[in-house]
Amino acid sequence: MNKTCAIVLAAGKGKRMKSNINKQFIKINDMPILAHTLNVFNKSKYIDKIILVAAEDEISYCKEKIICKYNFNNVVSIVKGGKERQNSVYNGLKAVKNCNIVLIHDGARPFISDDIIKKGIEFARIYGAAACGVMPKDTIKIKDTNGFSKSSLNRENLFIVQTPQCFKYDLIRKCHEKLIDKKVKVTDDTSVLEIFNYKTYLYDGDYSNIKITTPEDLIIAKEILKESKQKIY
């Protein structure tokens, strides 16, 4: 059972994008963001299966307009998401069958490379948990409750975590199960492990592996896509 499964999350509401459609269905270069993301995993030789997590009322749209249309035949199931990201992840984890490594990835992060996927799987096999990311370019401050600066963090020790985040399946499933009783909100899966004192190995991702979150990210995304096409052809 040396198999890998990617859980691609697409069940958010995309509130910060302020668009009238779910941000992952916005097209860049004529293809929905979510399709760009799924395309990388579907093509990857390191991924055996994909589970897509979508909002209940968007499942049929995803099936028809994304999975069937682009022929993503490695998507083995589509499951409904939950209220928070962590609920969506847990629903995805429950649908995993016969895989010992899982990669959890934001559907809104379309510029993931096969090399980052490969490294994540390798590190997860060694350390149990691995996540990619980059060093911040800006100075990060702690703000007090009155809106004034309190202190500055040492940039050398900081890391902006991205996805995919890769785990041994039993470990991440156990931690998510225990998280339900804790009633805490987290925004990524390395935080789930931290709560239970497990460490995640952090490795170099890429500045172009952006999460499309606010409207200006769409402008950047179009440029990244242009640049990557130039490299390929």
191 binds ligand CTP (CB under 6 A): no
81 binds, among Mg ion, ligand CTP, none (CB under 5 to 8 A by kind): ligand CTP
161 binds ligand CTP (CB under 6 A): no
Residue with tokens 């987290």: 186
209 binds ligand CTP (CB under 6 A): no
Q: Which is nearer to ligand CTP, 106 or 176 (CB)?
A: 106
Contact between residue 134 and residue 197 where contact means Cβ atoms under 8 Å apart: no
198: which residues sit within 8 A by CB, 6+ positions away? 128, 129, 171, 175
50 binds ligand CTP (CB under 6 A): no
48 binds, among Mg ion, ligand CTP, none (CB under 5 to 8 A by kind): none
CA dist 63 and 72 (Å) reads 10
Contact between residue 82 and residue 91 where contact means Cβ atoms under 8 Å apart: yes
Tokens matching residue 89: 């992840």
Q: Which is nearer to Mg ion, 107 or 133 (CB)?
A: 107
Q: Tell which positions 67-106 bind ligand CTP, by CB under 6 A.
A: 81-85, 88, 106
H-state helical runs in the chain: 33-43, 59-61, 69-70, 85-94, 114-127, 169-182, 189-195, 215-232
CA dist 55 and 62 (Å) reads 10
Q: Tell which positions 7-46 bind Mg ion, by CB under 5 A.
A: 12
32 binds ligand CTP (CB under 6 A): no
State in angstroms the smallest separation of the CB of 12 from Mg ion. 5
CA dist 53 and 8 (Å) reads 6
State in angstroms the smallest separation of the CB of 185 from ligand CTP. 11
213 binds, among Mg ion, ligand CTP, none (CB under 5 to 8 A by kind): ligand CTP
Residue with tokens 């199931």: 77
Using the 8-state DSSP alphabet, how is residue 62 labeled? Answer: I
Residues in contact with Mg ion by the rule CB under 5 A = 12
Residues in contact with ligand CTP by the rule CB under 6 A = 9-16, 53, 81-85, 88, 106-108, 211, 213
